[in-house]
């Protein structure tokens, strides 16, 4: 089971960004790192200049590096960013099919979780076009994952699923962080920086429900499939995605590594992840439950 560190979805200060990826390079047992901006093109200038050096450092540490691309490109500036990614010469993670139009002939690419790869026809079409790996949409149930993992195997590409971290639930043209601060998106003053794991949006009964991150809406719960590795392997899943959050992400990766290798029992792995951040709630309901927010670590 490979481990992929997904792109950071939040707006962190450049220094924190740098420390985070340096720690990943030095300490996290992940095979692949997707790096760059997924959510909001306005954030990119804050850390763009740091990316090339960090790529070298991650590569020197033996990680495969994939460039993240924007989830909802609409502006001319955003299309230029995508065109630029096509020129770097590294594999690019596609999170909107716009990116496909900016890849050079034969350039390898991966499919991110925000591409709607729901079925065989779509996966086969994209694999034929050169996709080397697919991270499936998080809302898919295990029955769909099983079928798509088989298709991926037939094409010789990795089948990855969202293994850890708040789940991406929606993208909008509207910035909710700005709206909550009574600002416009253009005049947001980067208020999203105040919430390094997203801003909680609770139900009226006080239940923890969702979180906003600029134009993105996330689950409140942290997806956590560390206790489901056996079921995922049986389904043909070949990679797990860990999504960056505050706290010791290298430790999170190590727990997943040990659980995937069978040196850490599922219950123990869950308990260790809980200990890192006791206040975080977990879910695995999209794969195993009636609703996405559900949590059962038996996999039954």
Q: Nearest approach, Cβ of 166 to other proteins (angstroms)? A: 11
- Of 58 and 68, CB closest to other proteins: 68
- Of 3 and 192, CB closest to other proteins: 192
**HSE-up of residue 90 (Cα within 13 Å, Cβ side):** 23
Q: Give which of 77, 119, 78, 120 is closest to 96, Cα–Cα.
A: 78
Q: Nearest approach, Cβ of 294 to other proteins (angstroms)? A: 8
- Of 107 and 172, CB closest to other proteins: 172
Q: Is 294 exposed, middle or buried (0-12, 13-18, 19+ CB in 10 A)?
A: middle
- Of 121 and 156, CB closest to other proteins: 121
Write the CB contacts of 187 (distance below 8 Å, at least 6 apart in sequence). Answer: 178
Write the CB contacts of 273 (distance below 8 Å, at least 6 apart in sequence). Answer: 164, 224, 226, 252, 255, 282
Write the CB contacts of 4 (distance below 8 Å, at least 6 apart in sequence). Answer: 30, 31, 32, 33, 34, 135, 160, 239, 240, 241, 242
Q: Nearest approach, Cβ of 235 to other proteins (angstroms)? A: 12
Q: Nearest approach, Cβ of 253 to other proteins (angstroms)? A: 25
Q: What is the rounded CA–CA span in Å between residue 128 and residue 48?
A: 32
Q: Nearest approach, Cβ of 89 to other proteins (angstroms)? A: 20
In whole angstroms, how large is the CA radius of gyration of the chain?
18
Q: What is the rounded CA–CA span in Å between residue 158 and residue 135?
A: 8
- Of 59 and 132, CB closest to other proteins: 132
- Of 89 and 187, CB closest to other proteins: 187
Q: Nearest approach, Cβ of 31 to other proteins (angstroms)? A: 25
């Amino acid at each position: 089971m490979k481990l992929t560190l997904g792109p950071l979805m939040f707006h962190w200060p450049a220094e924190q960004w740098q420390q985070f990826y340096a720690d990943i390079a030095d300490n996290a047992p992940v095979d692949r790192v997707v790096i760059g901006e997924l959510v909001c093109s306005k954030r990119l200038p804050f850390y763009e200049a740091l990316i090339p050096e960090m790529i070298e450092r991650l590569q020197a540490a033996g990680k495969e590096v994939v460039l993240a691309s924007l989830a909802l490109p609409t502006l001319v500036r955003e299309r230029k960013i995508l065109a630029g990614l096509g020129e770097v010469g590294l594999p690019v993670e596609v999170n909107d099919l716009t990116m496909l139009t900016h890849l050079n002939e034969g350039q390898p690419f991966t499919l991110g979780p925000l591409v709607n790869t729901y079925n065989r026809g779509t996966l086969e079409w994209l694999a034929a076009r050169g996709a080397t790996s697919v991270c499936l949409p998080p809302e898919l149930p295990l029955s769909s994952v099983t079928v798509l993992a088989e298709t991926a195997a037939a094409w010789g590409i990795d089948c990855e699923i969202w293994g850890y971290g708040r789940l991406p639930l929606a993208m909008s043209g509207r910035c909710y962080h700005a709206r909550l601060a009574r600002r416009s998106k253009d005049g947001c003053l980067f208020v999203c920086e105040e919430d390094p794991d997203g801003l909680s949006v609770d139900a009226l009964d006080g239940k923890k429900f969702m979180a906003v991150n600029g134009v993105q809406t996330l689950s409140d719960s942290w997806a956590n499939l560390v206790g489901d590795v056996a079921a995922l392997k049986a389904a043909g899943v070949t990679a797990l995605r860990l999504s960056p959050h505050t706290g010791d992400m290298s430790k999170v990766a190590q727990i997943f590594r040990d659980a995937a290798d069978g040196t850490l029992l599922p219950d123990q792995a869950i308990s260790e992840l809980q200990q890192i951040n006791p206040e975080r709630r977990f879910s695995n309901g999209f794969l195993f439950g009636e609703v996405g927010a559900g949590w059962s670590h038996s996999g039954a």
